[in-house]
C-alpha cells in the first residue's frame, strides 16, 4: 500500500430542540434532541504512510477563528492565543484530543477483530492535520464532529476492516454526541446522545437562513448542567408549586416542579419523603434549592427508556421548525453579565430578521433562524467587533 491522503469536512451542529430529561443511573444526563448539521465545518486531513510507525498531529486555526480567539484571550486578560503556558494549538493537540482517541479506538478495534496470534494489518505512520473553523465551547459539537470525521476517514483508508456496528460502538465509546455526526443532515438523538436516527426534511431546512453568534465567553458543560433551573415552569405550574408548598404537600410540590414531565412513583415518594423528613418550612424560598437538586437530578427521568425515535420527533415538520425551538440550558444562564449579553445577542438576531432564536447545545453560541433571508448588517458587525463576537451565516441541513 502506498501513502494515501484523505481530506474531509466535519460539520458542526445546532439543536432545534434540546430537552434535558434527568440523570440516569449511569451518571449521565438523559437528553432528547432534534438536531441539524450546519455548513460551518472544520477540515480534517489524514495521510497514512505504511513505511514507518510515527504519529504526527497538528492543529491550525482559520483567520476568522483566530481573530475570535484573540478576542477571547483579551477578555480573559491574556495575549494572543496563549491561553495558559502553552499555545492553544499545542494544548488542543494533546493525547486526549478526541481525534486521537477516535484513531486509537479504531486501531484497537481492528486489533481485536484480527484475533490472537495474528499481526495487525495496520502498521504505518499517521499524519493528521486539523484546520479549525468552529469556535470552541460554543455548543456546536466541534470536537465530537472531528472524532466522527476521524472514524469515517479510517473507514475510507482501510475499507472492510470496521463493520457499521464497530463504527457505532467506537463513536459511543469516544464521546456522548460523536454518534450524531455520523448521520449529518437532520436527525433526532436521545439517551446520552448515543441513539441516533436520521429524519427527512434536511432539504427543506436548507432553504432557510441561519446566523450564529458566539460571545467571547465560552460554556463549560459541567457548569451548564449545574446551572439548570426551573424556569421552564408555566404560570399554572408555578401556582401549583406555591400552593403545594404552602400546604406542605410535598408530593404535589415534586409533581408541580417536574415541569410537566411524568415522574416515576418511587422517585416522587423518595424526594417528597426527604423534603418532609428534613422539616422544610412551608415556603417556596426554603424548599426550592432542595427541589432543584433532588427533582432535577434524580426524578425528572421521563422518556429515558424511550427507544422509539418516532416518539422523540413526533409531529416535527421542518417547515414549521420555529414553533419547536427550545433548549433546557437557556434558562441556566444565570450570571448577570452573561444574561445581559445573551439578551443583546438574541435581540440583534431578531432585529436582523430571525423568526426564532435558540441556544446551541449547552452554549454559549446562539442561532437565529428564518425561512427568509437573514443579513448580518453593519450594526450587528459593529457590535461583534466591540464585544468580540464570532458571527457566521450558515446553511442548515448540511451534509457536506
In the listed set 299, 323, 355, which residue is the last one of a domain according to the structure?
299
| Residue 244 structural domain | 235-260+264-299
DSSP codes joined into one string, 58-118: EEEE-HHHHHHHHHHHHHTT--TT--SSS-HHHHHTSTT-HHHHHHHHHHHHHHHHH-TTP
What is the model's pLDDT at position 95?
Answer: 65
What is the model's pLDDT at position 25?
Answer: 64
**Overall number of domains in the chain:** 2
Contacts of 71 (CB under 8 A, 6+ apart): 216, 388, 389
Claim to verify: residue 134 and residue 195 sit in the same structural domain: yes
Q: Is residue 394 part of a domain?
A: no
Rounded Cα distance, 296 and 331, in Å: 13
Claim to verify: residue 249 and residue 109 sit in the same structural domain: no
3-state secondary structure of 305: coil
Claim to verify: residue 40 and residue 103 sit in the same structural domain: yes
Q: Is residue 318 part of a domain?
A: no
Q: Is residue 54 part of a domain?
A: yes
Grid look-up 433562524 returns 369
Q: Which residues, given as ranges, of the chain have pLDDT below 70?
A: 1, 22-25, 77-95, 116-117, 226-319, 321, 331-337
Claim to verify: residue 254 and residue 196 sit in the same structural domain: no
Claim to verify: residue 161 and residue 27 sit in the same structural domain: yes
Q: Is residue 223 part of a domain?
A: no
What is the model's pLDDT at position 367?
Answer: 96
CB-hemisphere CA count at 13 Å for 127?
10
Q: Is residue 218 part of a domain?
A: no
What is the model's pLDDT at position 115?
Answer: 73
What is the DSSP code (8-state) at residue 396?
B
In the listed set 280, 299, 318, which residue is the last one of a domain according to the structure?
299
What is the model's pLDDT at position 194?
Answer: 82
Claim to verify: residue 10 and residue 90 sit in the same structural domain: yes
What is the model's pLDDT at position 263?
Answer: 45
Rounded Cα distance, 3 and 52, in Å: 11
What is the model's pLDDT at position 302?
Answer: 38
Q: Is residue 273 part of a domain?
A: yes
Report the predicted TM-score, pTM, of the whole model to 2 decimal places. Answer: 0.79
CA distances from 237 to 42, 255, 288, 336 (A): 43, 9, 14, 26
Claim to verify: residue 164 and residue 54 sit in the same structural domain: yes
Amino acid at each position: 500500500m502506498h501513502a494515501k491522503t484523505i481530506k474531509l469536512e466535519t460539520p458542526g451542529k445546532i439543536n432545534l430542540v434540546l430537552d434535558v430529561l434527568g440523570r440516569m443511573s449511569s451518571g449521565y444526563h438523559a437528553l432528547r434532541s432534534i438536531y441539524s448539521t450546519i455548513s460551518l465545518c472544520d477540515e480534517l486531513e489524514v495521510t497514512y504512510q505504511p513505511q514507518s510507525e510515527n504519529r504526527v498531529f497538528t492543529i491550525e486555526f482559520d483567520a476568522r477563528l483566530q481573530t475570535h480567539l484573540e478576542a477571547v484571550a483579551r477578555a480573559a486578560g491574556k495575549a494572543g492565543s496563549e491561553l495558559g503556558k502553552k499555545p492553544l494549538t499545542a494544548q488542543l493537540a494533546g493525547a486526549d484530543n478526541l481525534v486521537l482517541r477516535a484513531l486509537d479506538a479504531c486501531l484497537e478495534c481492528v486489533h481485536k477483530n484480527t484475533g490472537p496470534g495474528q499481526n495487525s494489518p495496520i502498521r504505518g505512520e499517521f499524519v493528521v492535520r486539523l484546520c479549525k473553523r468552529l469556535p470552541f465551547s460554543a455548543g456546536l459539537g466541534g470536537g465530537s464532529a472531528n472524532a466522527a470525521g476521524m472514524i469515517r476517514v479510517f473507514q475510507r483508508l482501510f475499507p472492510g476492516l470496521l463493520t457499521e456496528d464497530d463504527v457505532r460502538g467506537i463513536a459511543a465509546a469516544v464521546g456522548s454526541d460523536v454518534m450524531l455526526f455520523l448521520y449529518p443532515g437532520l436527525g433526532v438523538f436521545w439517551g446520552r446522545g448515543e441513539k441516533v436516527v436520521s429524519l427527512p426534511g434536511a432539504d427543506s431546512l436548507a432553504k432557510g437562513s441561519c446566523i450564529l453568534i458566539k460571545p467571547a465567553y465560552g460554556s463549560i458543560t459541567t457548569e451548564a448542567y449545574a446551572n439548570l433551573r426551573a424556569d421552564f415552569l408555566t404560570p399554572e405550574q408555578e401556582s401549583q408549586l406555591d400552593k403545594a408548598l404552602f400546604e406542605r404537600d410535598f408530593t404535589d410540590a415534586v409533581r408541580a416542579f417536574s415541569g410537566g414531565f411524568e415522574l416515576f412513583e418511587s422517585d416522587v415518594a423518595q424526594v417528597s419523603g426527604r423534603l418532609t423528613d428534613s422539616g422544610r418550612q412551608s415556603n417556596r424560598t426554603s424548599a426550592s434549592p432542595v427541589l432543584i437538586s433532588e427533582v432535577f437530578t434524580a426524578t425528572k427521568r421521563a422518556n429515558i427508556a424511550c427507544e422509539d425515535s418516532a416518539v422523540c420527533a413526533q409531529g416535527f415538520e421542518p417547515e414549521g421548525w420555529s414553533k419547536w425551538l427550545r433548549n433546557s440550558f437557556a434558562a441556566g444562564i444565570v450570571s448577570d453579565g452573561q444574561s445581559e449579553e445573551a439578551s443583546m445577542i438574541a435581540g440583534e438576531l431578531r432585529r436582523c430578521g430571525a423568526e426564532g432564536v435558540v441556544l446551541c447545545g449547552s452554549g454559549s453560541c446562539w442561532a437565529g433562524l428564518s425561512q427568509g433571508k437573514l443579513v448580518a448588517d453593519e450594526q450587528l458587525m459593529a457590535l461583534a467587533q466591540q464585544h468580540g463576537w464570532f458571527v457566521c451565516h450558515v446553511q442548515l441541513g448540511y451534509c457536506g
